[in-house]
Each structure stands twice: as C-alpha cells, then as structure tokens.
Chains A and B, each alone.
Chain A
Amino acid sequence: MRTFIGIDLGSTTTKAVLMDENRAVLGRGITNSRSNYDVAAMVSKQEAKISARFTLFKQALGSGGGAELLLADLERNFRLEQFLSELQQLEVTCEAYLDSPRFNEMKSALKEALSAVFRKIEGEAPAIYAPGADRKSDFFRDIAGSRFMNIAEAVAKQSGLSFDTMLNIYDKSIIDIESMVSSDETVSAQLLNGLSRALRHLDGVEVSEAEAQRALKEVLDIKLEETYVVGTGYGRVRLPFPKEHIRSEILCHGLGAHMMFPGTRTVLDIGGQDTKGIQVDENGIVTNFQMNDRCAAGCGRYLGYIADEMKIGLHELGPIAMQATKATKINSTCTVFAGAELRNRLALGESRADILAGLHRAIMLRAMSILSRSGGVTDQFTFTGGVAKNESAVNELRKLIKENYGELTINISDESIYTGALGGAEFARRAVMN
C-alpha cells in the first residue's frame, strides 16, 4: 500500500507519522535523536511502520473475542523480543571490544563478567515488560543502560574488576547498537515470536493461534511502500532527502495542529530548543509566527537541566510542581542562571515544589511573550511539543491564557509530540495526491 511519512527531527527526540492515502494515521514512531540524525530518522520510521503493522493487525482481528487483550500482550511481548535481540547485539559488540590489545590480560575475566551481567539482564527482561510494569523510558539505551550500571557495579565488585572499565566498554558499544536499524525481516520475525509468546499463556482470547498467526502473516505481507517522505524539525537539513522533501517545522506544526484540532487559530509549540508562536488560518495555513532568537532560554532543555540539577527525572518535574502551594517568583529563564537561582531559593528555605512551580511559570511567561509577538492568542488555542506533556507547565499556561486572553478553548492532544510529524506526513500526502 502507498504510505506517506512525516519525520520530525527534534533536538531531543525524533518522531515519525505514517499515513495512508485517505489521511488516516496508521502508525507513529519515536526515538531519541542521538548525535546521528540519519539513524534517528530511520529508527523512527521503522517504529512508525511497526506501529502501523499493529494498527493493521488490529483491523484484521476486529473487536471482541479478547482481541484487545491479545493486542496488548502482543505489544509487550514484541517489545520484549526487540529488547532481547538488541541486548544480544550489545553483548556481541561488547565482546568485540575485548579484542583490543589493552584488554589482553583481563580479556577472559572481563568476558566472564560481561556474560554474567547480560545473563542477569536477560533474566530480568520479562519482568521489565510484564503487564502493568512501569518503565521510565521506552528507549533501549535508557533501559539497558540503567540495568547494566546496577548489575555491572555488583559484578565488578565481586570479581575484583574495574567498574569503570566495564562502563567504558558499554559506553562504546551502545553507540554502535544505537546506529543499527532493524530490517523489515527482523521486525517480522520479532512480531511472530512475540505473538507465539503472547499466545502461550493467554486466557480469555477466543482467536485461535492459527487464525491469529495467519492474520499477522497477512499483515506482514502488506508492503508499506514509502511513497513520499517529508522531513522537518531542527535536524531536517541533515536528512538524506532532496530539498523539496524538506518542510519547515513551523509550517508542519501549524498544519499538524490544524489536523488534530481544526478550530485551531493559534499554536504554541515548546520543543527542546525552540519555542514557537504560530498563527494559522481556517485551512491550517501559517499566517504569522515568532520564535525565540539565539537563546533557547525557557525551552524544553531548560526543564531537562533543572531535572538534572535536582537529580530527578524529567517526568517527575510536573507532578512535584503540582504539589506547590504557591509559585516562587523566578526571574531568570536563562538555563545557566537557573541552577544558581534554584540553589539560592532552596538555601532560603523555599520548598522544592514551590520553586518548580515558579520555574514552570517563568517558562510560560516567556512563551506568552513570544505568543504576543506572533499576534496574540485567538480561539482555539493548541499547545504542542514535548513540554505539553508536563502538567504543571500546562497548568501555568492555562492560568496565563485566562488572565491575558479570557476563556478560550485550549487543545492539548495526547499525541501532541507528533504534531510536526503529522503535518509533515500530510505535506507528503499532498505532494502526491493533490
């Protein structure tokens, strides 16, 4: 089938959306941008195709008869298969590094230690992907990295080897693993294996194993032809695409927001390094925009930096800030000053939650300034980008919008991170279909 793909290369994550001829979104994929945009683009595209296979499989199974259960279990088991296969590649790569002359003396000891670490991670893998298990990240690098660190530290201690050496081998190897893109064949095999695993112990599913397998095979046989691919985002110029396949992220976000919420007239997008205020007309055509200039103060990376300073996860910032009783007044959205201001406020006895609420408000004040420079906020208002997932940021934004522009419809999609890629996919579709 003909498919149209939009890829949004952000500074933090790379997103892909795969669309069919009828403008139906079949799949979405996301990966960390790494330092290599080409790979990030390919991985996100492959992830979007995988997600499309799930959509098509779901359509083939229909509803009822425990189909939802089966799908959810297939997804988990597929991710487990994917994880195990990447873990195996990681082990092979780590071992290859041991051939370096500097490891001559301890090669066999290191090999043994690494093997112990990998066996342990392998053993833990089913639990990582067990139903209801909480994962802080879905990226292989994050999951494998944190497990490796914990286990290798203990193993190193027991075996009298240097933890730093083991970590060094891991750090070198993970870069190679991240540069690998799974082939369609590998993905198909992983999906079929995942299905076998899922069917092994699944109650309440009426679909027979043979039926399910036939349906999945049929779905895997559908060729997802990349009819047209459009690239956008921070790293778009690095994409190995001809120029006409590259669209500005501002236009893609405008169009994407319009497609998600057709009543959209003003879009705020806060990404890793950019804050953009965009005005669109009733057709999703951009009529005006403003963005931060040379300085990325108050963008997504600011929150990342704050989280690092506080030694907490990025996703924990919002929930902590929501517990605030007041918002501490923070004057600087300068990422470099923020650390100093933060420590200063803590030293003055302000609560972490109040400070964080203040930081979120500071970001949104800056966003409000960019919005007003772009022409203000007109109903309906759509907020997109990674920061739209942060409830405290959203909370502050709602307050500021109400104070400055009154009661407006504020749209935030669960899929808001894919807004740019969605616009890109639609541009790709139009390039062929219109």
Chain B
Amino acid sequence: MSDQKIVKSNSQDVQKEMITRNYDKITSGKVKVSSTFVPGNLNELLMCFDIANNLPEINAIQNAMRKKSGEMIMEAERSGHSEDVCTYVKADIGMMAKGNIAPNGKPFPDPDLLLLSYTGCFTFLKWFELLREQYKCPTVMLHVPYAADGHVTQNMRDYIVKQLKEEVIPTLEKISGIKFDIDRLREYLRKSAIAEDDLVWMLESAKHKPSPIDCYFGGVYYMGPIFTAFRGTDECIEYYKLLREEIQERIDKGLCAQTPEGDMAEEKYRLVVEGPPNWTSFRDFWQMFYEAGAVVVASSYTKVGGVYDYDSFRHDPANPLETLADYCLGVYTNRNLPTRVDMLARNIIEYEADGLLINSIKSCNSFSAGQLVMMREVEKLTGKPGAFIETDLVDPRYFSAANVKNRLESYFQMIDQKRRAGGSAIAA
C-alpha cells in the first residue's frame, strides 16, 4: 500500500509542513516546551508565554501511522505496564524508553512543564504522574468538572477561572519568565475564532449530497491545526481558508469525498461515527469505507479537542479567561451521555445519515463507557440502524481486519436491506 501514489490536496501539504515545523521548533532546544493533551488544550495561553506545546497523544498517533507504536507498546509492557493500559500511554512510555525520538528524527527535549487542562480522562492524570516521575518538572493541573447535568454552570466556569488565575498563569509566568499579558491572549483568541468559523463551515459542508469531505478519516486531518499547536495563529487562519476554498471547489464540481486514492466515485452510504479511529491500520480501515462507497458525514472524534458546532462555541476575546473555561468544559467526552446522544442523533438527522457506527476502543474508557447504550438511544431517536465495531488506538495487535470488515459489510448490507425493506415469505 505504501508504494501506491497517495492523492493529496494543497491543504494537506501545507499541514504536513506546519507539523514538521512545529516538531523542529519543539526539538530545537531554543524554546520552552510544555507537554499537554489535545482535549481542551490551552494553546493560546501557552503562546502568551512563548511556550511550545507538545502533545503526547499526537506523538503516539504519529508513531502508529509510521508503524512504530507496536514495538513501543511492547517496550512499555516489558517495563511493567499491563496489557489493559491505554495504548497512547504505553506508546509514549515506550518511545521514551527508546530514546524519545520525535517524528523528525531528533530527540525530544525534556519538558519544562506538564500542563493538564482536561481531567475527564483519569488516564491523563496517571500519565502525567508517570511523566513527572521521569522528568521531575513542574506540573500544573486544571481541574475541569464533568458536565454531569448536561450544562455548564457559572459556578463551574468561575472555578476554572480561579484556577487559571491562581495556579496556571502564575506557574506559566514563573517557568517562562514572561509576564502574562491579557491583551496578547485576546489577540490570539480573536484569531482562533476566525479559524473556528471556517472549521465549522468545513464540518457542515458534509451536509451536501454528495459530501465533499469525509469527516472522520479526512476529518482527522482537517481538525489537525485547530486542535494542536496552531489555534490562535495566522497560519491556522490561512490553513482553514485554503481548506474552505478547496472544499468549495469540490462542492461546485459535485465531487464525492476525497480519499487517498482520489475522489470516491459514488456515495452510497452516509454515516455518523462515534469514537476515535484506529491509527495502526488507518489506511486499510479507511479503505474498507470508501471501497464500499461509504462516507462519514459527521463524527464525534472531530470534536475531541473542543465542540464548536453543537452549541456554537467560539473563543471569545471579550472574555478571555471565561472562554478558555468554556472551551475546557465543552470537550466532547466532558459532556454527559444524554448530551452526546443528542449530538449524535442531531448529526444523523441534520446530515441525512443512514445511521450511527461506533468504533469502540479497547483501551479508551473516556470514549467507550456507555457506547452501547448510546447506540440504542440514537437508534430509538432516529429510527436509523446502528452498528458496533471494536479496534484499538495504536496497538496493532488489536486490529482484526477480517472481523472489522465482516461487521462493516454486514452493516452496509443491513442499510441496503432497510432501504429496500423487502420481506420474505416462509421457505417452502
């Protein structure tokens, strides 16, 4: 598969170049580096202190797509981590044990700070405890309350703002030696919101028939800059502008979604997908969809960093600290199950999808807990069939292509059958 020519768009090349540049910056030794996680990350705030952001999950994903995560996970297991531990964690621990080499081939510097800004995933806490043990560096934790009742209260917001003021910002000032400038933050947030408008436009472009984009496999590329180290920058705005133009062109031409093998010829199935993708067999996994003419029109994973479409959140420069609080609180997995169900059901209806497919991840409790119940609820609300597949994030041992394909094919044929709604009589 690797020797096949991969069809790429301009925006993909631009993004690749952005990621490379960011890794070069992190490994340059010239900037302070904070490790932090994707969901609810405080990129704009870090930028106020000239601190680069290094995301361990993204490193694990990069290693998985380069087929390196398997050996890293085994390395971590050799050092005592159980089979059931989140494989992002093990890939990271294994990477450290193998010299902590970044995807650009240069060693990662030890982080100057560990910044935890999303606490909905308990594994994140434990992960940073391990990293703290390793690096003996300052750690700052922003406790983000779970939106158990389905909405964010002023109390929650105030609680986060208080932590930002009393814990997070003073720590960042101390590490960087730079005084916090709220106007600098406002400026980054203003830029974030511009890119966020185009991001939402991208997500909603999948309402077109055929959808010009795949919002899961393609979506993970499209969401890259906003959820990683670029939100709040000019290059992020430029990226989404370029992406928007490309998608608009596809809409004008009536093209189906772009795949690594070119434009999908025909759109037969429109799906909403819940859960992260599998990264070790990403291309094979995607191929199972586009070969069958299936496109993902909406996915929860494209909201893993933050949710912009459901309740129209945009970073608000007028209320800089409150808006950071709202961003952290609004993370998809920080929402309660009824809200997630509502989100998915609305996606199915608004994007005219054929149903909900859940990719349940063996080692991710944040996503996996409650998924079967969610599927049943979404089925009830929409009348559309759901299906369930099981893979893992970055452990290649847990991707059974035959099993996944079997279920996917069954699901596609189930949709066909439902559409025809043909019955049968008793066999003679």
Which residues of A approach B to under 8 Å, CB–CB?
Answer: 22-25, 234, 237, 247-251, 255, 258-260, 262, 274, 282-291, 293-294, 373, 375, 422, 426, 430, 434
A-chain residues with CB within 8 Å of residue B398 when the two chains form the complex:
294
Question: Is B390 a contact of A293 with CB atoms below 8 Å?
Answer: yes
Say which residue of A250, A260, A422, A426 sits within 8 Å of B410 (CB atoms): A250
Bound Cα distance from A22 to B426, whole angstroms: 11
Interface presence of B20 (CB below 8 A): no
Interface residues in B, total, Cβ within 8 A: 29
A286 to B421, alpha carbons, bound, how many Å?
10
Q: Verify B403–A294 contact, CB threshold 8 A.
A: yes
Q: What would be 13 A-B contacts, judged by CB atoms less than 8 Å apart? A: A23-B428, A24-B427, A234-B402, A248-B410, A250-B410, A258-B424, A289-B407, A293-B400, A294-B390, A375-B376, A422-B427, A426-B427, A430-B422
- Indicate if the CB atoms of A286 and B376 lie closer than 8 Å: no
Contact residues in A for B426 (Cβ distance below 8 Å):
259, 262
- A291 nearest in chain B by CB position: B407
Once bound together, how far apart are the Cα atoms of A63 and B372, in whole Å?
Answer: 55
Contact B372 A283 (CB under 8 A): no
A285 contacts B418, C-beta separation under 8 Å: yes
B413 with A247: CB separation less than 8 A: yes
Given A288-B386, A294-B398, A283-B422 contact (CB < 8 Å): yes
List residues of chain A with CB within 8 A of the CB of B313. none
Asked whether A251 lies within 8 Å of B413 as measured between CB atoms, the reply is: yes
- The distance in angstroms between the C-alpha atoms of A434 and B379, with both chains bound, is 29
Find chain B residues with CB under 8 A from A255 CB.
424
Mostly, the A contact residues are mixed
B149 on the A face (CB < 8 A):
no
Structural contact, B427 and A259, CB atoms closer than 8 A: yes
Q: Which residues of A contact B413 (CB under 8 A)?
A: 247-248, 251
Asked if A283 contacts B406 (CB within 8 A), the reply is: no
Over the window 376-402 of chain B, the binary record of Cβ atoms lying under 8 Å from chain A Cβ atoms (1 yes, 0 no) is 100100000111101000000010101
Per the 8 Å Cβ criterion, residues 117-158 of B in contact with A are none
> In chain B, what residue has the closest Cβ to A20?
B428
Q: A42 to nearest B CB, angstroms?
A: 23
Chain B min CB distance to A370 (Å): 11
> When chains A and B are docked, how far (Å) is the Cα of A23 from the Cα of B423?
14
Chain B residue contacts of A262, Cβ below 8 A: 426
**Separation of A88 and B418 alpha carbons in the complex (Å):** 52
Select from chain B the residue with minimum beta-carbon distance to A19: B427
Does chain A have a CB within 8 A of B220? Answer: no
Q: Which residues of A contact B386 (CB under 8 A)?
A: 288
CB-CB < 8 A to A234: which residues of B?
402
The answer, yes or no, to whether B409 is at the interface (CB within 8 Å) is: yes
Determine whether B414 belongs to the interface, using a CB cutoff of 8 Å to chain A: yes
Say yes or no: B422 contacts A373, CB within 8 Å: no
A residues in contact with B424, CB < 8 Å: 255, 258-259, 283-284, 426, 430
Q: 16 additional contacts, CB 8 Å, given A285-B417, A285-B422?
A: A23-B427, A247-B413, A249-B406, A249-B410, A251-B410, A251-B413, A251-B417, A262-B426, A274-B406, A285-B414, A287-B414, A291-B406, A293-B400, A294-B400, A375-B376, A430-B424
B230 nearest CB across to chain A (Å): 36
| Shortest Cβ distance from residue B357 to the other chain A in the assembled complex, whole angstroms | 13
CA A259 – CA B425 in complex, angstroms? 7
**Of B417, B421, B425, which is in contact with the most chain A CB atoms at under 10 Å from its CB?**
B417
Q: Which of B385, B390, B427 has the most CB of A within 10 A?
A: B427
Contact A25 to B428, CB < 8 A, known contacts A251-B410, A283-B422, A434-B422: yes
Q: A262 to B409, alpha carbons, bound, how many Å?
A: 24
Interface centre among B390, B406, B426, B428 (most CB of A within 10 A): B406
Interface centre among A25, A255, A282, A286 (most CB of B within 10 A): A286
Q: How far is the CB of A382 from chain B (nearest CB, A)?
A: 13
Q: Inside 8 A of B409's CB, which chain A residues have their CB? A: 248
Q: Which residues of the partner chain B approach A251 to less than 8 Å between Cβ atoms? A: 410, 413-414, 417
- Closest CB in chain B relative to A289 CB, distance in Å: 6
- Chain A residue nearest in CB terms to B389: A293
Contacts of B387 in A (CB 8 A): 289
In Å, the complex CA distance between A294 and B427 comes to 34
In the complex, A116→B402 CA distance in Å?
Answer: 47
Question: Nearest residue in B to A296 (C-beta to C-beta)?
Answer: B403
Most buried by B among A24, A248, A274, A287: A248
Segment 94-131 of B: residues with Cβ below 8 Å from A: none
A283 touches B427 (CB 8 A): no
Q: Kindly provide the distance from the CB of B388 to the nearest chain A CB, expressed in whole angstroms.
A: 6
A258 to B424, CA, bound (A): 8
Q: Which residues of chain B come closer than 8 Å to A258, judged between CB atoms?
A: 424
Could you tell me the distance between the alpha carbons of A249 and B376 in the complex, rounded to whole angstroms?
A: 23
For the complex, give the distance between the alpha carbons of A291 and B409 in Å: 13
Q: Give the Cβ gap from B401 to chain A, nearest Cβ, in Å.
A: 10
The 10 A-B pairs with the shortest beta carbon distances in the complex, nearest first, are A283-B423, A248-B410, A250-B410, A259-B427, A24-B428, A294-B400, A293-B390, A248-B409, A248-B413, A286-B414
Q: Which residues of B contact A249 (CB under 8 A)?
A: 406, 410
Cβ–Cβ contact B423 & A248, under 8 A: no
The minimal Cβ–Cβ distance linking A263 to chain B, given in whole angstroms, is 10
- Do B385 and A282 touch (CB < 8 A)? no
**When chains A and B are docked, how far (Å) is the Cα of A56 from the Cα of B109?**
80
Q: A248-B406, A286-B414 are in contact. Are A260 and B427 (CB under 8 A)?
A: yes
* A residues near B390, Cβ cutoff 8 Å: 293-294
**B376 x A290 contact (CB < 8 A):** no
The answer for the CA separation of A426 and B423 in the assembled complex, in Å, is: 11
CA distance A251 to B387 in the complex (A): 13
Instruction: Give the residue name and chain of the B residue nearest to A425 (CB).
Output: B427
Contact A283 B421 (CB under 8 A): yes
CA distance A260 to B424 in the complex (A): 11
* CA A287 to CA B410, docked complex, whole Å: 11
A251 to B207 CA separation, bound complex (whole angstroms): 30
Q: Tell me the bound Cα distance from A373 to B424 in angstroms.
A: 26
B405 nearest CB neighbor, chain A only:
A237
Cα A426 to Cα B372 with chains together (Å): 31
Residues from chain A with Cβ under 8 Å of B425 in the complex: 23
Which B residues are in CB contact (< 8 Å) with A293?
A: 390, 400, 403
> In the assembled complex, how far is the CB of residue A292 from the closest CB belonging to chain B, in whole angstroms?
8
> Which residues on the B side are within 8 Å of A422 (C-beta)?
427
Q: State the Cβ distance, A318 to closest chain B Cβ, in Å.
A: 27
Query: Shortest CB–CB separation between residue B395 and chain A, in angstroms?
Result: 11
Given contacts A248-B409, A284-B423, A284-B424, contact A373 B372 (CB under 8 A): yes
Q: Chain B: which residue is nearest A293 at the CB level?
A: B390
A288 vs B379: C-alpha distance when bound (angstroms): 10
A144–chain B nearest beta-carbon distance, Å: 32
Output the least CB separation between A278 and chain B (Å): 9
**Residues on the A chain within 8 Å of B417, using CB:** 251, 285-286
Q: Across the interface, name the chain B residue whose C-beta is closest to A260.
A: B427
* Bound Cα distance A253, B198 (Å): 46
| Residue among B376, B386, B424, B428 having the largest count of chain A Cβ atoms under 10 Å | B424
Q: How far is the CB of A326 from chain B (nearest CB, A)?
A: 33
